[in-house]
Each structure stands twice: as C-alpha cells, then as structure tokens.
Amino acid sequence: MNLALFDLDNTLLSGDSDFEWAQFLIEQGVLDRELFEAKNLTFYEQYKAGTLDIHEFLDFQLKPLSRHTRKVLDAWHEEFMQRKVCGMMGAAARDLVARHRAAGDVCVIITATNSFVTAPIAREFGVEHLIATEPEQKDGEFTGRVADVPCFREGKITRLESWMTQHGWGWNSFANSWFYSDSLNDLPLLRKVKSPVAVDPDATLRAHAEQQGWHIMTLR
C-alpha cells in the first residue's frame, strides 16, 4: 500500500482557491473591496514569503462564513467552482491524480485552505480523502472560528498523523509515500515522506529540492 499526498493551491490548482474565494466574495459585493482586497493580497504575499500568521489569517478568512447561512454559502460555492476553480484544474494535474488512483494508492489532498472551500474541489479531482483546516460549526452553521489544529506547516503533520491513527495506519503502513507541493511552507511534511516532489516550486523550495536531490516537476 502506498500513500499519495497532494497540496492543492498552486500545486494541483494553477492558482490559489483561498485567495480566489475572498476575491469572489468581493466581486459579489459580499465583502467590501476597499477593506478586504488589500488585506487579501497582503496575506497572500505573506503566505508566499513564509511569514503568514495562520491564526490572524484564519480570523480574516473564516469570519465571513459566519455571516451567512450554509444554504447561501453553498449556492455561492457552486458559482465559485464554475467561475474560478474549474479553469485552474489542468489536465496534467487530473492525470497525476488519476495515475495514483489507478495504481491503488491512498490519495489525500492536504491543504491549509478550509474544508468548506476545498471539499468540492477534492471531489472534482476524484480524491476521497481531504485533510484541511476545519471551520468550527454549530448546528450546521459556521461560527467564524477554527476547529482543531490548522492544517498549515507543522500542523499538516499533526493532522495527517491523527488521520492515519483514525484509519489504523502509521508511516510504516506505506511502502512508499509521496507529497506533491509547490510551497516552502510544506517543507516540514516534504521532509517526512519517502518521495518528496516539488511541483512548480517557489524559489526557496526549488533551491532546497535541488540541494536534496528531490524530484522537481511541472503541472502547468
């Protein structure tokens, strides 16, 4: 049995679903452009630079979910998938996932982006397992807070190992393990797997991958 882990934003997707969801809400008039667009851009640049305060960002990202009913949010997400996400799902990324699925590998999308935004995207890729940052819910509605450990940097390892335990697995359960990622933020988990793969990597990850002899590939 093998394990194939996929980062989502700027790895399987040729863009960032987190960033685009906020932009979508701004375009819908749900969020005030003047107040939110600059913040969204700032957080995105901090993420790319490896300086993001995840709790500050999640406060920004999850609060809007608490201001609307789940029914309204789900309707917006359907439009978001069509307008923003489907165009970011390239053939090469779909083929990569399909190859691992055809080989019988356990496939997991593991992402810092919250599960409300990413669960429909994982389904569209045909990936059964999703480990994502979890928005807190009460009676089926979002509270605006985060539940559990954010799935970010070292938190990805924490959440993945908890998920493995729930399935009765450990690292030694898998003959091989891959993790595909573009980001320096994923270096902790990339170092844990047997076969780390840098996908269209940022400069920091590319330099590290070249130094370590990791495979580097493109899905663009």
> Which position among 9, 16, 18, 186 bears the catalytic label?
9
What residues make up the domain containing 10? 2-217
- Per-residue model confidence as pLDDT tens digits over 162-203: 999 999 999 999 999 999 999 999 999 999 999 999 999 999
Our answer to whether residue 9 is catalytic in this structure is yes
Rounded to a whole number of angstroms, the distance between the first and last alpha carbons of the chain is 29
Cα 92 to Cα 95: distance, rounded to the nearest angstrom: 5
pLDDT at 59 over 90: no
- Tell me which amino acid residue 175 is: A
The reported pTM is 0.95
Name the burial class of residue 20, with classes exposed (0-12), middle (13-18) and buried (19+) by CB atoms within 10 angstroms of its CB. Answer: buried
Q: How many domains does the structure of the chain reveal?
A: 1
| 139 is known as an active-site residue | no
Confidence of residue 122 (pLDDT cuts 50, 70, 90): very high
Instruction: Identify the CATH number of the domain in which residue 39 sits.
Output: 3.40.50.1000
pLDDT in tens, 79-119: 999 999 999 999 999 999 999 999 999 999 999 999 999 99
